[in-house]
Structure 1
Amino acid sequence: MTHDAIIIGAGPAGSSTAIALAQHGWSVAMVEKVAFPRRKVCGEFMSGTSLALLDRLGVGEIWRAEAGPEIRRVGFFSGEVLAEAPMPRAETGLGRALGRDRLDTVLLQAAERAGVEILQPCKAVAIHRQGDLQSVTVEAGQQQRDLTAPVIIAAHGSWEAGKLPSQLERTSRPSDLFGFKAHFIGAGLSPDLMPLLVFPGGYGGMVTADRGRVSISCCFRRDVLSGLRQRWGNIAAADAVSRHVLASCRGVATVLAGAELDGPWLAAGPIHPGIRAGYDKGIFRVGNIAGESHPVIAEGISMALQSGWLLARELIASGKGNEGHDEAGRRYERQWRRQFSTRLRASALIARIALRPGSRTVMRAVVKTFPAALTLGARLSGKTRPVPGF
């Protein structure tokens, strides 16, 4: 079966690319290995910069109706320090949070309405070239078949191991960061506040999402997490995360006092911050596999959506078929860097400060004395940077 484009992964990056291409008459197949709705390790906040893009993708009205409250303040919880400052406002509005179990489903449904062929649950297991086309071998249950297209787009994220040429090799280092996420009901977080959490060995964030759920997400160093588990009798990683964050951040303990866990803790990783090739070995990349910021700046969803839009614009401009892909790839990579490189550098700096014991102490003192530094950090992280074409 031949399409104009095959997209591997149906998260925000894959779905935004698929919808934009289908809206311009492309025949698109999107392969997703997991059935939706699904929960996922993610901070769930989306900046106001992407609101116009959501409208273009046909999901803005649903998102506004279901997402949590507008986030008007950015906060800081670390040790005994609690601080807050105004969240910088984008021209299109303030950001809000919607659970990935709902957001991904809404985007997938929009892709289906746009005419995208959805293969789910279905896993891409191999990619190989057939003349001017590329073939993706997909597997559903015990059945395999090949899909062919001139354009292959990897949107499977950077955490997933596998043998596809776009997937990253696994490494194991003490400094690796692993992500954890949980929802709570009945938490005492101010609805319009999104605090940054900084604690020994990691960092995180909290935000009020849909249906009053408070989402807490954290990144932990591998070696620190291993030491905590051993110290407390080899307890489960999620239990170590919860106990450590509550003990290290008075603000978190206050917010979660009396709250109930809504579903189990999730874990994923290690994360791979940095800029990678947006086009390599004939495969285009969007979302985390193209480049990944430290989650400390809460820009993952916005970057995923916007990277899909940036790539779709370049592919539409180059036309269907297999001509001009190399130039489209180069244009996309340049656009990607212009749009996201500043926030990647900002995230790396903030994460480095948060993870170093001495720097963490200085960070607390600076934020306590000059809380406006939080507003500056949010601005540097891309909270007000417009999306090209809007």
Structure 2
Amino acid sequence: MTRLSTHDAIIIGAGPAGTSVALTLARRGWAVAIVEKSEFPRRKVCGEYISASNLALLDRLEIGDAWRASAGPEIRRVGFFSGEACVEAPMPHAKEGPSTKDGFGRALGRDILDLLLLQAARSAGAEIFQPCRAVAIDRDGDMQMVEIQAKDEQETTMLRAPVIVAAHGSWEPGALPSQLAKTNRPSDLLGFKAHFTGSSLAPDLMPLLAFPGGYGGMVWADHGRLSVSCCIRRDMLARLRKHYGHDGHIHNSLEHHGYVSAADAVVRHLMESCRGVSDALEAAQLKGSWLAAGPIRPGIRSCYQRDIFRVGNAAGESHPVIAEGISMALQSGWLLACELADAPRGRAGREAAARRYEAAWRHLFSTRVHAAAAIAKIALRPGSAALMRATVRNFPQVLTLGAQLSGKTKPVPGFA
């Protein structure tokens, strides 16, 4: 049996990008469907930091007060941990914030943030299909048909709409035309993330971590949780797993063939490569398990292709080294929704909206993507950690400048 449901827009993915589109369109009178494969709340591999310049947007999405009530402390300092170096500098103040109290960013776990946004979308009138996976998209005249399959049901549901928005990220391959092909390269960056409690890291400090084969960051989030996230090259991870598996120090973590788990290798590499991480986690306790995902796919992609709009990582992705992933997701969803809501209905209107959206996306995000790529290239180059340490020690103000270049003080269009 097949069920058919017709909407004005179908959003595939209920992360910050997808829900910001859905919320904005639903409040403009659109009939919106959201398809999300996972049950909420759920944790994600993500740095979880949101720049202060997004607070006006969160207020417009009507979750600003809830975000403020739950998020971690204000981040007033940016740091750099690498080897024995522990350097810090002021975080630039976002003067364009919605109030004098919103000059600095904070972090909130994705298990809380995504649920807040999805509940707001439901309250705005969006129809939620969860947990359901979109498995095919086919054209039906001026409309498109999205086939979805529920996790525990045999029934197939067909969703029909003229507007399809891919908000499914870039890390998971699939059969949809908007999903990226799966590749495996030694240079791939794999993402890891965990929460800790009882850390000694200063509450207002967010350090960048630079270590052989990767980079990462730490930030205090909600409920006393320290969010630790990093990216590491696939080939480096393989060497570390084998090395630590044969050194005889953590036999209880051995898996097979002398390899330790990826999580064991990552946390040990972090603590041995960055004194600041070792000090911060010395008395800390792991809360929950380590998460892994990837490989990440940095770069700028088409915002509109094969009659499908793309937002968030599906449209373009910066290296996580600049901690702007959630900001870009929220803002790209907002940009697209504004263009769609103001465009005439019909194919010509959609294509005009797509051109304006892509131009706005590149204007707002291209500098961030290129800056992140340059920083990541330096951080990942063999032997570059020593040069970075020397530079930051002698010129700590480059940390503040880097935060500005990454877009942490740039206002969202329409909120300046």
TM-score grouping bracket, smaller chain normalisation: over 0.9
- Aligned residue identity for 2:142: D
Map of 1:168 onto structure 2:
180
Match of 1:41 among 40, 45, 53: 45
Q: Deviations over 1:150-204 (max 9, x none)?
A: 0000000001111000000011111000000000000011010000000000000
Q: Does residue 129 of the first structure (1) align with residue 154 of the second (2)? A: no
Q: Does residue 69 of the first structure (1) align with residue 79 of the second (2)? A: no
Deviation at residue 281 of structure 1 after TM alignment: 0.2
RMSD of aligned alpha carbons: 0.7
Map of 2:260 onto structure 1:
235
Map of 2:222 onto structure 1:
210
Instruction: Output the TM-score relative to the length of structure 1.
Output: 0.99
Map of 1:115 onto structure 2:
125
Q: Does residue 185 of the first structure (1) align with residue 193 of the second (2)? A: no
- Aligned residue identity for 1:76: F
Q: Does residue 246 of the first structure (1) align with residue 250 of the second (2)? A: no
SS in 2 for 1:212: coil
Q: Does residue 342 of the first structure (1) align with residue 359 of the second (2)? A: no
SS in 1 for 2:202: coil
Q: Does residue 15 of the first structure (1) align with residue 9 of the second (2)? A: no
Match of 1:257 among 282, 286, 291: 282
Matched pairs, number: 390
Q: Is the Cα contact below 8 Å between 2:91 and 2:400 reproduced in 1?
A: yes
Q: Does residue 364 of the first structure (1) align with residue 370 of the second (2)? A: no
Q: Distance between the aligned counterparts of 1:322 and 1:133, measured in 2? A: 9
Q: Distance between the aligned counterparts of 2:345 and 2:276, measured in 1? A: 53
Q: Please, which runs of 5 or more residues in structure 2 have no aligned partner?
A: 98-102, 246-258
Q: Distance between the aligned counterparts of 1:375 and 1:349, measured in 2? A: 16
Q: Distance between the aligned counterparts of 1:157 and 1:143, measured in 2? A: 26
Q: Deviations over 1:209-249 (max 9, x none)?
A: 00111000000000000010111221000100000000000
Q: Is the Cα contact below 8 Å between 1:151 and 1:322 reproduced in 2?
A: no
Q: Distance between the aligned counterparts of 1:322 and 1:37, measured in 2? A: 36
Map of 2:85 onto structure 1:
81
- Aligned residue identity for 1:35: E
Q: Distance between the aligned counterparts of 2:345 and 2:409, measured in 1? A: 33
- Aligned residue identity for 1:118: I
Match of 2:166 among 154, 163, 181: 154
Deviation at residue 330 of structure 1 after TM alignment: 1.1
Map of 2:291 onto structure 1:
266
Match of 1:195 among 197, 207, 226: 207
Map of 2:56 onto structure 1:
52
Deviation at residue 321 of structure 1 after TM alignment: 4.2
Q: Deviations over 1:297-343 (max 9, x none)?
A: 00000000000000001101114444411111111110000000011
Map of 2:406 onto structure 1:
381
Q: Distance between the aligned counterparts of 1:87 and 1:13, measured in 2? A: 25
Q: Distance between the aligned counterparts of 2:409 and 2:269, measured in 1? A: 33
Q: Please, which runs of 5 or more residues in structure 1 have no aligned partner?
A: none
Map of 2:235 onto structure 1:
223
Q: Is the Cα contact below 8 Å between 1:182 and 1:263 reproduced in 2?
A: yes
Percent identical residues: 68
Q: Deviations over 1:325-378 (max 9, x none)?
A: 111111111000000001111100110111112322111100011100000000
Map of 2:308 onto structure 1:
283
- Aligned residue identity for 2:229: S
Q: Give the stretch that moved more between structures: 179-188 or 359-368.
A: 359-368
Q: Distance between the aligned counterparts of 2:24 and 2:228, measured in 1? A: 31
Q: Does residue 101 of the first structure (1) align with residue 98 of the second (2)? A: no
Match of 1:353 among 368, 378, 391: 378
Q: Deviations over 1:110-154 (max 9, x none)?
A: 000100001100110000000010000000132211100000000
SS in 2 for 1:206: strand
Q: Distance between the aligned counterparts of 1:357 and 1:73, measured in 2? A: 28
SS in 1 for 2:182: coil
Q: Is the Cα contact below 8 Å between 2:344 and 2:350 reproduced in 1?
A: no
Q: Distance between the aligned counterparts of 2:345 and 2:82, measured in 1? A: 51
- Aligned residue identity for 1:375: T
SS in 2 for 1:376: helix
SS in 1 for 2:207: strand
Map of 1:306 onto structure 2:
331
Q: Is the Cα contact below 8 Å between 2:18 and 2:333 reproduced in 1?
A: yes
Map of 2:34 onto structure 1:
30
Q: Distance between the aligned counterparts of 1:385 and 1:360, measured in 2? A: 29
Q: Distance between the aligned counterparts of 1:105 and 1:321, measured in 2? A: 32
Map of 1:315 onto structure 2:
340
Q: Distance between the aligned counterparts of 2:344 and 2:9, measured in 1? A: 11
Q: Is the Cα contact below 8 Å between 1:4 and 1:321 reproduced in 2?
A: no
Q: Distance between the aligned counterparts of 1:175 and 1:323, measured in 2? A: 42
Q: Is the Cα contact below 8 Å between 2:25 and 2:337 reproduced in 1?
A: yes
